Structure 1
Amino acid sequence: MTDANVLIIGGGVMGVSLMYHLAKAGWSDVVLTEKNDLTHGSTWHAAGLCTHFAHNPTIQELRATSVRLYRDILPAETGDNCGFHRSGAMRITSNPDRMDEFAHVAGLSRFTGYDLQMLTPGDVERLHPLAQIEGLLGGIFEPDDGHVDPTLATNAMAKVARQNGATVMRYNPVHGVRREDGTWVVQTEKAIIRARHIVNAAGTWGWEVGHMMGLNIPSVPVLHQYLVTDTIGAVADRITQGLPELPMIRDPEESWYVRQERDGLILGPYEKHAKAWSVDGCPPDFGADLMPPELDRVEDIIMMAMARIPALETGGIKSVVNGPITFTPDANPLIGPAHGLPNAWLLTGSSMGVMEGGGSGWFLAHWMTHGAPPMDALAIDSRRFGNWADRDYRVEKAIECFGLQFGVHYPHEERPAARGKRLSPIHDLMVERGAVMGAAYGWERPNWFSHKPGDVAIPSFRRSNWFEPVARECNTVTTAVGLADMSVFSKFDVTGTDARAFVDSIGTNRAPRTGRIGLTHALSTAGGVESEFTVTTLAEDYFYLTSAAAAEERDEDLLRARAGGFDVTITRVTDDIGVLAVMGPNSRALLESLTSDDLGTWLSVSDISVADIPVRALRVSYIGELGWELHVAPDQMRALFLALERAGKTHGLGYFGAYAMNAMRLEKGYRAWGADFTTERTPAETGAGPLIKMDHDFIGKAELARRMKADDRWEMVLLEVDAAEVDPYYAHGVYQGDACVGIVTSAAHGHRTGKTLALAYLRNRLAREGLSIDLMGERLQARILDKPPFDPGNERMKQ
């Protein structure tokens, strides 16, 4: 029997990075078990590319941290070179939309502090003399990018971890995992290991280890090929002349990358139709193994790469690597707590293992050590997929992600694979009425409504074909009455004798009195916003909580983790309740035509009958109009919708979706969880100060109090932006002169006010005049609004 404080399952770059960072953070009894040898699986055969290019600040920091670790920190600690080559990297394109994407990423990188530079075709030719520039519009250059030897980097981290007391058990596969007496018991080949914490860092075997833990791990191994050439004369000549290494080059439109490898080149193609491998479990004897080459699958991509870099044709093929890498449904890694399991963590599913491995270990080690992630975790949180992410879903999405490895990342992008996993009871009725659907945590929800049958959103960085339809929806809600399906909310019942005390304790605000509705923010130990709950008090021992769709597993974990010591029962009721929103100045008249019950006052809840159907009516609005949310049993939702629709004809009833809702909530200055509220910032910084009641205890209170007084605290402001045909959306830098003083978190055109609006954090709170937003390289003037531009007195909601 072996005891461990932490048992890490998997000895690839991700697991070893976690071991390294935990050991350096002072954790004792850190044990890593590996089925074969370190780096076996996918790490050893990786091409070792490292980049700073990312569309999300957290993903970018994972990658930048990896670069610093491999390039600077590990060589200084070990005295050994990790084989890091600071070659720089470029991405080139002939696609105007891609240039918009590059400009957006370059703008984000100026806020995060990384130097990404836009390129002209002439710049491309100067930086990479072997590349043909015919047909190119330009590109983006990442001067600090490079490539690393994956085996050297992983073993360097293992060396430092061992020096700090960690233990590595090689050739020690896991055969079983169980929970016993509050401890994890793991049966391995060589020993039974009892551990306080376990971490699934098994990569290629992540699904299988997750199955042992009782988890659904939505990752799939996909085969990726790259070829290594023999000596190429043009490359060898550069070496002879003492010229610097060629920068890595990627053409995302043609779906390939090329980097220098000694006096040859490596060419890595990503075919559009990937080949999933060992979906339901890897072969028992698989280790440092490869598959036979299948170059016919990527022949067309190879030919395109040779046309762009003719020197590729002059080198014969020395070797072909064809091995598995894991993909999640969105190609981001799974990092964080394992849903529903105490002291269990995930660090797996990375399609960019070496590129993100060093930073991923740092990220999870911080989370485990401090009880909160170092940055917003939403893009990588291990609980962003639920049990609805079944086998078909994970396979279809992994194949889609592989094929779109170099796809344009449009704002408001909706990818088509594996849709329809969670449907509202009125899904078909919404589609019949022109709903163009989007996906939210597996749910299909209306994004907007079209008058054209079969219409779909045209992806763009500029105003798309849904701009005018959304304007019509906003007008309907403002002048008459709009109907929306909001069933995607996460929903929880909290009952029991301690229900009020418990709900008080979970967040910064106290629970409202019986029959009323309130809002509370649950904090991390660092004082940032973990979750936002709408709290409806049905009785002193019965509270109804709703939150964002994407927060369902996170919020359930939070509620259950904080219920210790309270006599409460927590029940997830998301699928047991549908929600119809009735909003607009005619909403009262519409409902009064279908019920004689009292419809209540602003922020009240009533159990009423509408068209003889029992509903829980919450008088609350996220869009600034008079309105109600009608919470109803799923088997009654269809009848309720049809009754409202029939009665609504005389009141000008129409439909509205998520895009209109987003535009209207910004006109009220309302913040959104996951975009504006994140774990990085306190609710005080985000503008929710009035909802903070310091007269009761809650997790994160001390840190919140400290940060509220800190000189370096940020401040969220509502900006009016001078936009014309291009509206901001998110992650744009806010400037005062040449200084980047903030970042946009959400934005849209407000159709009721005719203003383009953005919520943004100012990290320099004193920078309040002369502001502008960098929108894909163009500076748009912006002004801070002291009050929301639509109905600042809330008169419309309280009618």
Structure 2
Amino acid sequence: GLSPPKMKILESPLTIGELFNVVVIGGGSLGCQTLYHLCKLGMTNVVLLERDRLTAGTTWHTAGLLWQLRPSDTEVELLAHTRNVISSELEEETDLETGWIQNGGLFIASNKQRLDEYKRLMSLGKAYGIESYVLSPAETKDLYPLMNVKDLYGTLYVPKDGTMDPAGTCTTLSRAATARGATVIENCPVTGIQVKVDDLGVKRVKEVETAHGTIQTPCVVNCAGVWATKLGEMAGVNVPLIAMHHAYVVTERIEGIQNMPNVRDHDASVYLRLQGDALSVGGYEHNPIFWNDVSLYTVHIYGLHWMRVFLLSLLVCFPPESFTADHKPLMGEAPEVRGFFLGCGFNSAGMMLGGGCGKELAHWINHGRPEKDMCGYDIRRFHHSLTNNNRWIRERSHESYAKNYSVVFPFDEPLASRNMRTDPFHQVLQEQGCVFQERHGWERPGWFNRGGPAPVLDYDYYGAYDVPKNTDYKYSEILGKEYTFDFPPHHDAIRDECLSCRNAVAVFDMSYFGKFYLTGPDAKKAADWLFTADVNKAPGSTVYTCMLNKRGGVESDLTVSRLEPSPAHHPLTPESNGKRHTSNQSFENSAMCDLCVDSRELLQEVLNSDLSNDAFPFSTHKIVNAAGHKVRAMRLSFVGEMGWELHIPKESCLPVYHAVMAAGAKYGICNAGYRAIDSLSIEKGMDLRPDDTPLEAGLAFTCKMKTSIPFLGRQALEAQKAEGLRRRIVCFTVDEKVPMFGLEAIFRNGVPVGHLRRSEFRFAIDKTIGYGYIRNPDGGVVSPDFVRSREFTLERMGVTYKATAHLKSPFDPENKHVKGIYG
């Protein structure tokens, strides 16, 4: 085996340096990967502290399985980096073997839905050059002779999947890091983390206290696994994860099992890992045991202290694993304390995702943001009202564990800890059949069910722990019918909402959108720097713009409205105290949109303002009276039709809503939800992430490049414009009536050039429409001619469909409808 790296041995308090740029806490997969990648970025004054020995926490017992295909493009890229680090990079750098075994991976499907999911993964893999095959039961038997294939529907085989050795990997990572100048200290438990408050009132990391001395540092990385919550408490940081027992067994020797691929049977919720001439078998049950006190738990490869039960030559182990509310890791800088970073909560995937996430976390620490789109992992995705709510953490983490191997359907929603954040319209919409979605704790309208109310009930833990299971649960039954990769059964209801918007009038509750005031004498200066568009317009104007990061990636697209100064305590305009200030108004005002061709006639009956094009042009706003209540009306549209957005004080929401619905009855008004918005907005087309630039996304018009005004990200855009675009968003339409949901592979003359990021059915023309960023396989510029000059196809679940590529939206390309120009 590998010899341990040369560790710094503690002899006295003085052996710990007085100052380190970064302190990584936790010597498991994420801690070692983060330390290694920090060193690769040139940060060598870094130290890793491990309370016991490396891998002594939860890493030692991990299965070490690496599956290359996941239903997320970002995760596929993260896994690819892990595989590269483990299988080649580390060995080339250190001349040490990590223990990587490329024995392949086999996913078992016992029903059509599961095989459809695997076919989706296979198609996505083609966009990334990942070799995979869908096998019949007979072909599976040839590959894995010991397998009983009688009840199989099919399998997915990925030859270059494999198995990682936790101890070998972490040892090699630490050797590589210390060779670059890092320090690794074992047997050094952290006893406290001190923070300070700077001149602006911001809390920052100051020092780390250990049993052997104090370390001064501006940056702590919490990679403590199931102990991460306790470590966060030391600094006043909420770490919303929970520990659960994860059982697995190790079999006796099995003749003929050598060199067989690892197996995942998702429907049985078990995995089989090749372990020499035996198997390690683990799974995820619906009634996991919560581990309420992990403070005394420590196991490491140098002296095993397993809980052992021998039964029929099986070794049964019950170590703890950490799980989070949405089955995704917790990463990034904590909002409570600057310099306190998280790298924990990996839901049994810490080894698999460790290399990719360690690299991104190191970049986050060194450059202030990750390279990839890590929004789904960023701790800030959870509102602070949730991260310290024990009921929410427990219920949602249980559900994420119980559904660990469930099919990932496009329209799934959680059942746990719902109704945490609602707006004033919630009850009245629920009574009208609203099927709600949950986003960031908010309940927002998804679509409207014709069969009446479908309220979300209290979580029943799927009947576990003697909790009575909900019966006659209409919301759950509706979700169950949505579990398909075909058109969902409520396709027609969503179609009607979309066509009402296109042809008559629809009302959307958009209170879920964030709303902020930027005030003070330097507000203009701040706006010039933050926003890509020139927002220095007259009061009453509204401008669509983007906010970028330093690399030119889009952190947000939004509208900015210039407001008049107002008297004190006015509910629709901010107060200014003479200082630059940003305030969150998302909870104070709700937003309701009336959109479509008849919206002007309808609202003219409700608002006391002339709504003609001359009196109320597109992209303007004003305070008006609606049914006796003051509201701010903005002439905007998110779905490509003429419409108004009404910002309403909370206490006025329902009276205004009822007035609008009463006036709209003769126009055929209907309620509509975000499923309709998704379909309607894709016709106008865009898909944005922090790793996309406005130039790549077709949003160059939002950037004040023709002015001399500097803004964040401008230099990166100028460089990209001069060099030419290496990737570009393209719209695709498919004539065949087939559902697509994103992740479908894009081929140009038979060569993969990308995948769909987003796809919806376009009801107005009865076609599927999708958007994806394509690259030139040769690495060259993706020019308009590159798009126009070849034929494109899309692959969905292994089936190829001819597609038409569009550089502009095929729907109203001149944007006449939003300006009220029809005919």
TM over 0.5: yes
**Does 2:704 align with 1:717?**
no
Q: Deviations over 1:89-122 (max 9, x none)?
A: 1001111111111111111111122222222212
Partner of 1:470: 494
Partner of 1:416: 415
Q: CA deviation at 1:487?
A: 0.7
Partner of 1:273: 287
Q: CA deviation at 1:340?
A: 4.7
Q: Which runs of 5+ in 1 are unaligned?
A: 240-244, 296-314, 543-565
Partner of 1:790: 811
- Residue 4 of structure 1 aligns to a residue in which SS? coil
Partner of 1:551: none
Matched-pair contact (CA < 8 Å) for 1:371–1:524: no
- CA distance in 1 between partners of 2:193 and 2:105 (Å): 43
Q: Structure 1 257/284 Cα, relative in aligned 2: closer, same or farther at 3 Å?
A: closer
- Of 563, 571, 589, the residue aligned with 1:538 is 563
Q: CA deviation at 1:285?
A: 6.1
- Of 499, 520, 526, the residue aligned with 1:496 is 520
- CA distance in 1 between partners of 2:807 and 2:639 (Å): 19
Partner of 2:245: 223
Aligned positions, number: 741
Matched-pair contact (CA < 8 Å) for 1:717–1:785: yes
- Residue 588 of structure 1 aligns to a residue in which SS? helix
Q: Structure 1 62/285 Cα, relative in aligned 2: closer, same or farther at 3 Å?
A: same
Equivalent positions of 1:544-563 (< 5 A) are none
Matched-pair contact (CA < 8 Å) for 1:225–1:293: no
Partner of 1:13: 29
**Does 2:358 align with 1:361?**
yes
Structure 2 length as normaliser, TM-score? 0.87
RMSD: 2.1
Q: Deviations over 1:138-165 (max 9, x none)?
A: 1111111111220111111111111111
**Stretch of structure 1 that moved more, 65-74 or 8-17:** 65-74
Equivalent positions of 1:270-419 (< 5 A) are 270-278=284-292, 282-284=294-296, 286=298, 288=300, 292=307, 316-351=312-347, 352-389=349-386, 390-419=389-418
Q: Structure 1 774/290 Cα, relative in aligned 2: closer, same or farther at 3 Å?
A: farther
- CA distance in 1 between partners of 2:305 and 2:764 (Å): 59
- CA distance in 2 between partners of 1:284 and 1:29 (Å): 31
- CA distance in 1 between partners of 2:355 and 2:810 (Å): 45
- Residue 609 of structure 1 aligns to a residue in which SS? strand
Q: Which runs of 5+ in 2 are unaligned?
A: 1-16, 199-203, 455-473, 568-577, 777-781
- CA distance in 1 between partners of 2:281 and 2:734 (Å): 44
- Residue 178 of structure 2 aligns to a residue in which SS? helix
- Residue 563 of structure 2 aligns to a residue in which SS? strand
- Residue 665 of structure 1 aligns to a residue in which SS? helix
Task: Supply the AA of the counterpart residue of 1:462.
Answer: D
**Stretch of structure 1 that moved more, 167-176 or 472-481:** 167-176
Matched-pair contact (CA < 8 Å) for 2:101–2:163: yes
Partner of 1:309: none
**Stretch of structure 1 that moved more, 734-743 or 620-629:** 734-743
- Residue 819 of structure 2 aligns to a residue in which SS? coil
Q: Deviations over 1:619-642 (max 9, x none)?
A: 100111121111112222122212
- Of 579, 590, 600, the residue aligned with 2:602 is 590
Matched-pair contact (CA < 8 Å) for 2:63–2:273: no
- Residue 574 of structure 1 aligns to a residue in which SS? coil
Q: Deviations over 1:22-80 (max 9, x none)?
A: 11221031011222221122001112111212111221222222222222222222222
- Of 610, 635, 648, the residue aligned with 2:664 is 648
- CA distance in 1 between partners of 2:541 and 2:132 (Å): 51
- CA distance in 1 between partners of 2:548 and 2:132 (Å): 34
Q: Structure 1 611/227 Cα, relative in aligned 2: closer, same or farther at 3 Å?
A: same
Matched-pair contact (CA < 8 Å) for 1:512–1:536: no
Identity %: 31
Task: Supply the AA of the counterpart residue of 2:681.
Answer: R
**Does 2:697 align with 1:686?**
yes
**Does 2:81 align with 1:60?**
no
- Of 263, 284, 289, the residue aligned with 2:277 is 263
Matched-pair contact (CA < 8 Å) for 1:220–1:394: yes
Matched-pair contact (CA < 8 Å) for 2:52–2:189: yes
Partner of 1:763: 775
Q: CA deviation at 1:515?
A: 0.9
- Residue 316 of structure 2 aligns to a residue in which SS? strand
Q: Deviations over 1:438-494 (max 9, x none)?
A: 111111111111111346242211100121001111122222221111111112111
- Residue 686 of structure 1 aligns to a residue in which SS? coil
Q: Deviations over 1:581-607 (max 9, x none)?
A: 111222222222122234422111111
- Residue 679 of structure 1 aligns to a residue in which SS? coil
Task: Supply the AA of the counterpart residue of 1:702.
Answer: Q
Partner of 2:529: 505
- CA distance in 2 between partners of 1:591 and 1:234 (Å): 75
Q: Structure 1 786/111 Cα, relative in aligned 2: closer, same or farther at 3 Å?
A: closer
Q: Structure 1 413/381 Cα, relative in aligned 2: closer, same or farther at 3 Å?
A: same
- CA distance in 1 between partners of 2:484 and 2:328 (Å): 22
- CA distance in 1 between partners of 2:150 and 2:181 (Å): 56
Q: CA deviation at 1:772?
A: 1.0
Q: Deviations over 1:503-552 (max 9, x none)?
A: 1111321215121111222222222112222111113899xxxxxxxxxx
Matched-pair contact (CA < 8 Å) for 1:498–1:541: no
- Of 138, 149, 156, the residue aligned with 2:172 is 156
Matched-pair contact (CA < 8 Å) for 1:496–1:569: yes
Q: CA deviation at 1:273?
A: 2.1
Q: Deviations over 1:664-714 (max 9, x none)?
A: 112223x2xxxx111222110100011111232122221211122334521
Partner of 2:765: 753
Q: CA deviation at 1:290?
A: 7.0
Q: CA deviation at 1:655?
A: 0.7
- CA distance in 2 between partners of 1:645 and 1:43 (Å): 57
Matched-pair contact (CA < 8 Å) for 1:90–1:141: yes
Q: Deviations over 1:154-213 (max 9, x none)?
A: 111111111111112222222222322565222222222211222111111111222223
**Does 2:703 align with 1:707?**
no
Partner of 1:550: none
